[in-house]
């Protein structure tokens, strides 16, 4: 039996031992222990080193607000987690944990030199030191200070666990399974409401678990609790433990993170480690209780100094005495009860030191009965003890004067600075907070959501009040949901109501520069830091927070916010509500990335769209690239080819014979109806009226601002039917834009728009042999040059499949695009491959497609344009129907900015040395010798090695580019300036001879 465990006491299973290790040493704990309770049972308080000063620290809480006892936990490869609160982590067999942020042993930390040097680390230290010279960064800050100040080490392996996510709809969500939450759930469930009750801990009950002496309706607290939970279960209430409400979002959506396996000895096969719930609740009851505040005095962070409520929890929940000799320092009645309970359990209470001069007679009487010395109207001015508190110095305070010190020997110091309603979730809703001068704390004010706040969460204290308030909240929720209900009353015996005072730092007789009174334990912020921040000009609480980092640690200031505010407002000389509270943000407690990611990782990170021909590419060794959500064949390496060699081969084969390309990702929209041609005239820049059925045209789509949004070849199949193609990435955008105009600007037009991107598989054949490949497979249409000229479209059959056959070219070669119903795509591809075999048909990927189009100066919208490029800028002025009275973007083409000189125009660039390929995105200057910063006149948009031309080619947007044709421009790069000549974008076959086959 561990020295500090009380046999039979607590809710742990005394007959079920669990072994674990801490910093390599094996320990025994009990089923139901947390790491903190198990170590405390062995008398171990020292569990970590502080963030900045490496001060020895022990647990100060017994719950999720813990700032000090942060550990790394592990259960094998990939399952290491840093910064876990030892007060939350449940023991499991074989759990390995380690202390953090130490250089050397936990008991002798080399980094503690920071503590001796603390005058060097004042508030705003980082802001101030960052002013120092650059060289200090490399030699001092990064290697030394960064390493010395910090939390645990980040995991370095891939997380092998799975994380789940679910939705839940419920009439009433109750957050917090303490007395108020249980009373609310009971009341609502009895009225017939569908209720979900969640609690972050492994067990429902909240403060009742730490107060077994209380009697409710004639039953001992724990019996009442068990009966209440049984009733909730019987009434179908969903009870969720180990489930933290991490955030409260719009319209009663609450995020819950449920921990499923961290407490289990062995991992169940395929069980998720955590599950994120997105809950939509019609009503919400927040019954999150209150958080105990520390008192702020010199040495209040020493191991063994702990919140009184935490000591009470360790005693009753885990059967652990936190020490043999305790001094209580408090400004609230609640700590007295903790003292009495500890005294019963055999801990010597050296004294109850209360900052208040006037004390309740009953408390004094109970202390007297137990023989406990009471020091009213006292302050604490210091503690001693290297790795554990050994003594505390207390002084009387009279009329603001601190009297003579007295030293009390102890092995633990239990403090209480009163209680702060836990309003984090309420703050997420932007509900307003109201300062309550009587309790000197913030209470919930105006609500923005359909929620109720009950119990200690709105400043009530004592079990009768919490239970009654919870029941009233449950009844109110039930009424709001249409159920008639009157809340039941409770009878509570041995209740523990109480009051208290809130303080800034406690008065002291020490010289101020020698006081190390911590406000934010996790970020090592002292009261002095806060006052310094105000002296140095910070007035807003948000500035004080950022300058000192008070409340910015992973505990989000659960313990430090109000104390910090009291001190800052005193320093500023304003009332606390005028200084205000900093914002609480989700998540309530640190939440794993895995829980947020859920299923969205690895192969299921996002949707992968595959074309009907994907299987061929896969089987033929294609290298893929992602294009919007599609995975597209990038190139088809053969033998040991690298990308450059493969692309060169594919390009030459296409220009020399025939290449085959999967163009199925092209966006396709069917525009149908009597007014289809009018609609097309209004949407696209080009004129469509005279385009005969069976012909197609390259169309340009502008935004209303006159800039190019999309392009594509559009075929007219009949008077009232257009087959529109869009860029791969633009399909959804273009359809949205078309729908927008059709639905809201021109609802009078009789037109139907249908996305057909996924209905058609599209195979492009390009090269002088393209017709020969196709010839024997086409039925129902003559594809001779005379019968089917360039830019034609026909409905026919290809390889036996119903097809829309386009003659068009994105390569400058004789080209066809065959569209067949998607389910026949692969069969069509295979038929074309078979027919092309005698002609050396070569599959090519997107890279070759890009090179071939660039050799012809065809743009890629989004690569050669960037949302600020007009048709004229891109050299597409010819595509504008000048006689049309209007089309989307037409008026903008006359905007002053768009007709002014100096616009960037798309041109070709040829490097002087054809072996040099420019980098896409590289900036262009006219004079490479000008002083920096140089005037940049444009940038490279596309750049490739052209196997056809035996040199590199590029396109670029350059100011007044077309007028510079023939001039030399300069592209400064890290390893020298590249000279290039401005050319036409038409690098290959400028007269289009090759289309005339």
Note the residues at the interface with another protein (CB under 8 A).
249-251, 253, 278, 430, 448, 704-705, 736, 739-741, 743-745, 747, 885-886, 890-892, 895-896
By three-state DSSP, how is residue 742 classified? helix
Output 689 or 754, the one with its CB closest to another protein. 754
Q: Which is nearer to another protein, 129 or 448 (CB)?
A: 448
Whole-number Å distance between alpha carbons of 474 and 462: 18
Query: In the complex, what is the shortest distance from the CB of residue 759 to another protein, in angstroms, rounded to a whole number?
Result: 17
Minimum distance of another protein from residue 25's CB (angstroms): 47
Shortest approach of another protein to residue 891 CB, angstroms? 4
Do the Cβ atoms of 288 and 303 come closer than 8 Å?
A: no
Least distance between another protein and beta carbon 727 (Å): 19
d(CA 78, CA 849): 42
Largest interatomic CA distance in the chain: 115
Residue closer to another protein by CB (options 221, 734) is 734
- Report the nearest approach of another protein to the CB of residue 807 (Å): 34
In the bound state with another protein, the residue whose beta carbon lies nearer, of 135 and 736, is 736
Dihedral Cα 423, 424, 429, 434, nearest 10 deg: 30
Residue closer to another protein, measured from CB, 293 or 682: 682
CA distances from 507 to 148, 160, 471 (A): 32, 52, 41
What is d(CA 971, CA 180) in angstroms, rounded to the nearest whole number? Answer: 70
Q: Bridge partners of 305?
A: 413
Q: How far is the CB of 738 from another protein (least distance, A)?
A: 11
CA distance 196 to 252: 13
Min dist. Cβ of residue 288 to another protein (A)? 22
Q: Pick the closer one to another protein by CB: 429 or 911.
A: 429
Minimum distance from residue 744 beta carbon to another protein (Å): 5
**Token reading at 172:** 């009433």
Shortest distance (Å) from residue 585 CB to another protein: 16
Minimum CB distance to another protein, residue 740 (Å): 6
Residue with smaller CB distance to another protein, 432 or 984: 432
The dihedral built from the CA positions of residue 136, 137, 139 and 140, taken in this order, carries a sign that is positive
Sheet of 968-973, strands arranged across: 923-924, 938-946, 951-959, 904-911, 976-983, 968-973
Q: Which is nearer to another protein, 737 or 808 (CB)?
A: 737
Burial class (CB in 10 A: 0-12, 13-18, 19+), 606: exposed
Q: Classify the C-alpha dihedral 57-59-60-66 as positive or negative.
A: positive
Distance (Å, whole) CA 374 – CA 355: 11
- Minimum CB separation from another protein for residue 253, in Å? 5
- For another protein, the closer of residues 449 and 855 by Cβ is 449
Q: How far is the CB of 61 from another protein (least distance, A)?
A: 33
**Structure letter (DSSP) for residue 919:** P
Distance CA 873, CA 288 (A): 62
Residues in the chain: 997
By the 8 A CB rule, do 548 and 77 touch? Answer: no
Taking the complex as a whole, the smallest distance from the CB of residue 162 to another protein amounts, in Å, to: 23
Element (H, E) at 816: strand 815-821
Question: Minimal distance in Å, beta carbon 73 to another protein?
Answer: 33
Residue 242, classed as helix, strand or coil, is coil
CA dist 911 and 451 (Å) reads: 68
Give the residue with the Cβ less far from another protein, 398 or 745: 745
Task: Supply the DSSP string of 478-538, one letter for each residue.
Answer: HHHTT----PPP--EES-----B---SSPP-SS-GGG--BEEETTTTEEHHHHHHHHHTT-
Q: Which is nearer to another protein, 486 or 704 (CB)?
A: 704
Q: What residues are paired with 393 via a beta bridge? A: 382, 407
Residue closer to another protein, measured from CB, 899 or 977: 899
Say which residue the tokens 């109720």 belong to. Answer: 452
Q: How far is the CB of 896 from another protein (least distance, A)?
A: 6
Shortest distance, CB of residue 620 to another protein, whole angstroms? 36
Cα gap 211→494, rounded to integer Å: 10
Tokens of 663: 């163009």
Nearest approach in angstroms of CB 895 to another protein is 7
Q: Which residues contact 834 (CB under 8 A, 6 or more apart)?
A: none
Spatial separation of the C-alpha atoms in residues 980 and 69, rounded to whole Å = 63
Choose between 14 and 884: whose C-beta lies nearer to another protein.
884
DSSP string, 195-223: EEEE-SSSSTTGGGGG-TT-EETTEEHHH
Cα separation, 202 vs 196, in Å, equals 16
979-982 contact pairs (CB < 8 A, 24+): 979/911, 979/912, 980/909, 980/910, 980/911, 980/912, 980/918, 980/954, 981/909, 981/910, 981/912, 982/907, 982/908, 982/909, 982/958
User: Considering beta carbons, is residue 254 or 788 the nearer one to another protein?
Assistant: 254
Q: Among residues 384 and 895, whose Cβ is nearest to another protein? A: 895
**Residue among 634 and 741 whose Cβ is closer to another protein:** 741
Q: How far is the CB of 675 from another protein (least distance, A)?
A: 17
Which CB, 399 or 744, lies closer to another protein? Answer: 744
Strand, helix or coil for residue 836: helix
Residue 680 or residue 742: which is nearer to another protein going by CB? Answer: 742
């Amino acid at each position: 039996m561990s020295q500090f465990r009380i046999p039979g006491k607590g809710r742990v299973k005394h007959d079920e031992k669990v072994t674990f290790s801490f910093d390599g040493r094996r320990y025994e704990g009990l089923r139901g222990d947390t790491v903190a309770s198990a170590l405390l049972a062995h008398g171990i308080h020292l569990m970590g080193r502080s963030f900045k000063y490496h001060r020895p620290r022990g647990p100060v809480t017994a719950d999720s607000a813990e700032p000090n006892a942060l550990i790394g936990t592990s259960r094998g490869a990939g399952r290491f987690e840093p910064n876990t609160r030892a007060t939350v982590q449940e023991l499991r067999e074989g759990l390995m944990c380690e202390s953090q942020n130490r250089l050397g042993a936990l008991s002798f930390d080399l980094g503690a030199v920071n503590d001796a040097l603390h005058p060097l680390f004042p508030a705003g230290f980082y802001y101030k030191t960052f002013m120092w010279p650059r060289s200090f960064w490399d030699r001092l800050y990064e290697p030394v200070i960064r390493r010395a100040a910090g939390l645990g080490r980040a995991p370095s392996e891939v997380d092998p666990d799975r994380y789940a996510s679910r939705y839940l709809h419920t009439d009433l969500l109750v957050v917090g399974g303490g007395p108020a939450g249980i009373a609310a759930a009971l009341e609502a469930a009895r009225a017939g409401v569908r209720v979900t009750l969640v609690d972050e801990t492994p067990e429902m009950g909240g403060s009742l678990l730490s107060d077994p002496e209380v009697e409710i309706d004639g039953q001992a607290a724990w019996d009442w609790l068990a009966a209440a939970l049984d009733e909730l279960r019987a009434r179908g209430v969903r009870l969720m433990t180990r489930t933290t409400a991490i955030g409260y979002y719009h319209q009663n959506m609450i995020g819950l993170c449920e921990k499923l396996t961290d407490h289990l000895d062995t991992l169940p096969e395929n069980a998720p480690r955590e599950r994120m719930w997105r809950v939509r609740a019609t009503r919400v009851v927040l019954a999150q209780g209150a958080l105990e505040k520390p008192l702020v005095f010199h040495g209040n962070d020493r191991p063994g100094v702990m919140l009184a409520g935490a000591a009470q929890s360790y005693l009753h929940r885990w059967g652990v005495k936190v020490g043999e000799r305790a001094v209580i320092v408090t400004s609230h009645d609640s700590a007295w009860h903790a003292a009495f309970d500890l005294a019963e359990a055999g801990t010597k209470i050296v004294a109850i030191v209360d900052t208040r001069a006037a004390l309740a007679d009953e408390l004094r009487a109970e202390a007297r009965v137990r023989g406990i010395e009471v020091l009213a109207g006292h302050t604490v001015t210091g503690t001693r003890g290297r790795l554990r508190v050994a003594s505390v110095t207390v002084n009387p305070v009279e009329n603001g004067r601190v009297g003579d010190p007295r030293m009390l020997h102890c092995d633990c110091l239990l403090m209480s600075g009163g209680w702060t309603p836990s309003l984090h979730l309420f703050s997420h809703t932007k509900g307003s907070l109201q300062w309550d001068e009587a309790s000197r704390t913030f209470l919930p004010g105006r609500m923005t959501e359909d929620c109720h706040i009950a119990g200690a969460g709105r400043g009530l204290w004592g079990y009768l009040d919490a239970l009654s308030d919870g029941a009233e909240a449950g009844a109110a929720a039930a009424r709001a949901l249409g159920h008639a209900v009157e809340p039941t009353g409770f009878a509570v015996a041995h209740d523990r109501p109480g009051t208290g005072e809130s303080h800034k730092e406690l008065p002291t007789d020490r010289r101020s520069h020698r006081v190390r009174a911590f406000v934010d334990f996790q970020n090592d912020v002292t009261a002095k830091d806060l006052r310094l921040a105000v002296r140095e000009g910070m007035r807003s609480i948000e500035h004080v927070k950022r300058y000192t980092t008070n409340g910015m640690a992973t505990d989000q200031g659960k313990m430090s916010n109000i104390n910090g505010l009291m001190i800052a407002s005193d320093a500023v000389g304003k009332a606390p509500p005028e200084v205000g509270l900093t914002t609480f943000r989700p998540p309530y407690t640190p939440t794993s990335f895995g829980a947020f990611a859920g299923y969205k990782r690895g192969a299921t990170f996002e949707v992968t769209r595959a074309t009907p021909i994907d299987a061929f590419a896969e089987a033929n060794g294609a290298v893929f690239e992602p294009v919007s959500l599609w995975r597209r064949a990038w190139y088809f390496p053969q033998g040991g080819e690298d990308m450059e060699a493969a692309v060169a081969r594919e390009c030459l084969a296409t220009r020399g014979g025939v290449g085959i390309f999967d163009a199925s990702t092209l966006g396709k929209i069917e525009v149908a109806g009597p007014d289809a041609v009018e609609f097309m005239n209004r949407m696209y820049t080009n004129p469509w009226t005279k385009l005969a059925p069976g012909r197609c045209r390259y169309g340009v789509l502008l935004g209303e601002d006159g800039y190019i949004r999309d392009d594509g070849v559009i075929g007219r199949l009949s008077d009232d039917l257009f087959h529109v193609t869009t860029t791969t990435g633009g399909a959804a955008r273009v359809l949205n834009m078309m729908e927008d105009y059709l639905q809201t600007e021109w609802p009078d037009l009789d037109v139907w728009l249908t996305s057909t991107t996924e209905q058609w598989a599209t195979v492009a054949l390009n090269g002088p042999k393209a017709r020969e490949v196709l010839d024997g497979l086409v039925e129902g249409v003559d594809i001779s040059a005379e019968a089917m000229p360039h830019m034609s479209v026909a409905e026919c059959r290809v390889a036996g499949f119903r097809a829309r056959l386009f003659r068009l070219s994105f390569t400058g070669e004789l080209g066809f695009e065959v569209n067949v119903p998607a389910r026949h795509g692969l069969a069509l591809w295979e038929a074309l491959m078979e027919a092309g075999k005698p002609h050396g048909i070569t599959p090519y990927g997107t890279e070759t497609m890009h090179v071939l189009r660039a050799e012809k100066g065809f743009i890629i919208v989004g690569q050669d344009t960037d949302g600020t490029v007009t048709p004229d800028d891109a050299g597409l002025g010819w595509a504008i129907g000048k006689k049309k009275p209007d089309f989307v973007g037409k008026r903008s083409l006359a905007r002053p900015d768009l007709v002014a000189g100096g616009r960037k125009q798309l041109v070709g660039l040829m490097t002087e040395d054809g072996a040099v390929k420019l980098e896409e995105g590289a900036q262009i200057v006219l004079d490479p010798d000008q002083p920096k910063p140089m005037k940049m006149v444009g940038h490279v948009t596309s750049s490739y090695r052209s196997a056809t031309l035996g040199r590199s080619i590029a396109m670029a947007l350059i100011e007044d580019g077309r007028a510079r044709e023939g001039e030399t421009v300069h592209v400064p790069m890290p390893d020298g300036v590249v000279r290039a000549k401005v050319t036409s974008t038409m690098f290959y076959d400028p007269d289009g001879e090759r289309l005339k086959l």
